[in-house]
Amino acid sequence: MNPDYPINFQRIKKRTSQAAIFLILLLFASSCDIFNQKHPVQIVFTSDSHFGYTRSAFRGDSNVSALIVNEAMIREINSLPILTLPADSGANAGMPIGEIDYLINTGDIANRSEPGIQSAAKSWDQFTTSYINGLTTKNIKNQKTELWLLPGNHDVSNAIGHYKIVGVHADNSSLLGIYNYMFPENKKTSATFNYATDKIHYSKDVAGVHFVFVNIWPDSNERVWMENDLKSVEANTPVILFTHDEPDAESKHFSNPNGVHDINTTDKFENLLCDVFKDGSMVSDSDVVEQREFVSFLKVHPNIKAYFHGNAHQNRFYTYQGPDKDVNLKTIEVDSPMKGEVSGLDQTKMSFQLITLDPETKLMTVRQCLWNTNPAKPYSPIAWGAKTNIQL
């Protein structure tokens, strides 16, 4: 100890006390999530990654793997923080994007493992590499962007079987991977995971909005779970649904109404949903009865303001009205990087979406991010496409 520099213990004690108080206040503020209450919440939305599939054309090459395409999209997502939102009528218009708080992927992480397609296990490994490890964006607290995941019909079919892969060994790796990623406190093994009981559904509260994530489609079992979940939500709290299937779900995804209700090459039902199909014996029949049951649920919960989904593989903003046109639900569909209905033919239309939520005005804007407008120059800036505003 240098005697020329005496220690002022009172000053040290005072500064230590001040630092401790500041730390306590910081932790309290963080636990109350006050930072996110005023900060515009930014969410990337994508779906239908289809690892194991190939694109016929991408940036000058043919038969390009999903790993290459998805990693290219993630690089573009990583560039978002330095960009500025367009000067439109949407939330936070004309302002720098900055932090990305969440990324949502609503499934079909793996492609169905038909002959010639890689295993779901390999697809989950590639998703882990490109999304979980490859995403570099941060949230307002300077923590890594949080991923919210759901399964798609291909993830489930790989686990329980499908009429196109009869005799192929079931592989629940991508479904199990999603489950364990979202519920790390209740991890399952391949042997202990049971699709009938281990459903991937959960909810998140962000900036006064209740986000609900539903397994494949809101069938009767999922509606029972949602009913219980919504009991703790105030009637005036906006609710947003995310799931894989569109509101008018594909009839083949319901359970087989014929014979022993199994998955077989004659009936071609996939048994992804708990409800036995009530509208007929063929998958081509319309699912009017099932839709009406869902519409009845919507009418009981008018604070459900929007429905986000994948599966149909295109960027589309529309209003779901139900089979009897007696409901109006804002619906948002997102493109697939591998199987786009539009972008599959024109790669310059490949897109994901950026959701911006203003916590003060409760305006939510969904903007299409065109990330491959110049295939000859891969790192060209993202271009802004269509948008829709949702007043919550």
Residue 17 in any domain: the answer is: no
242 beta partners: 213, 308
Residue 228 in any domain: the answer is: yes
| pLDDT of res. 116 | 86
Listed in sequence order, the residues at least 6 apart from 371 whose beta carbon sits closer than 8 Å to its beta carbon are 73, 76, 77, 350, 351, 352, 382
The residue behind tokens 């459900």 is 304
Between β-strands 239-242 and 304-309, what pairing exists: parallel, antiparallel or unpaired? parallel
Q: Assess whether pLDDT exceeds 70 at residue 178.
A: yes
Q: What is the pLDDT of residues 225-281, one digit of tens each?
A: 999 999 999 999 999 999 999 999 999 999 999 999 999 999 999 999 999 999 999
Q: Assess whether pLDDT exceeds 50 at residue 212.
A: yes
Cα dihedral 222, 225, 230, 231 sign: positive
Residue 158 in any domain: the answer is: yes
DSSP character at residue 276: B
Q: What is the pLDDT of residues 13-65, one digit of tens each?
A: 444 444 444 344 344 444 444 333 478 999 999 999 999 999 999 999 999 99
Q: What is the pLDDT of residues 291-300, one digit of tens each?
A: 999 999 999 9
Number of domains present in the structure of the chain: 1
Q: Assess whether pLDDT exceeds 50 at residue 7.
A: no
**Which CATH number does the domain housing residue 204 bear?**
3.60.21.10
User: What is the pTM assigned to this prediction?
Assistant: 0.90
The shares of helix, strand and coil residues in the chain, as percent rounded to the nearest 5, are 30, 20, 50
Residue 25 in any domain: the answer is: no
DSSP secondary structure string for all residues of 200-242: --EEEEETTEEEEE-SSS--HHHHHHHHHHHTTS-TTS-EEEE
Residue 362 in any domain: the answer is: yes
Q: What is the pLDDT of residues 75-84, one digit of tens each?
A: 999 999 999 9
Q: What percentage of residues in the chain have a pLDDT greater than 90?
A: 86
* pLDDT averaged over every residue in the chain: 91
| pLDDT of res. 38 | 73
> Rg of the chain's alpha carbons, rounded to an integer?
23
**What is the span of the domain harbouring residue 335?**
40-391
Give how far Cα 69 sits from Cα of 47, 49, 250, 370, Å.
13, 9, 27, 14
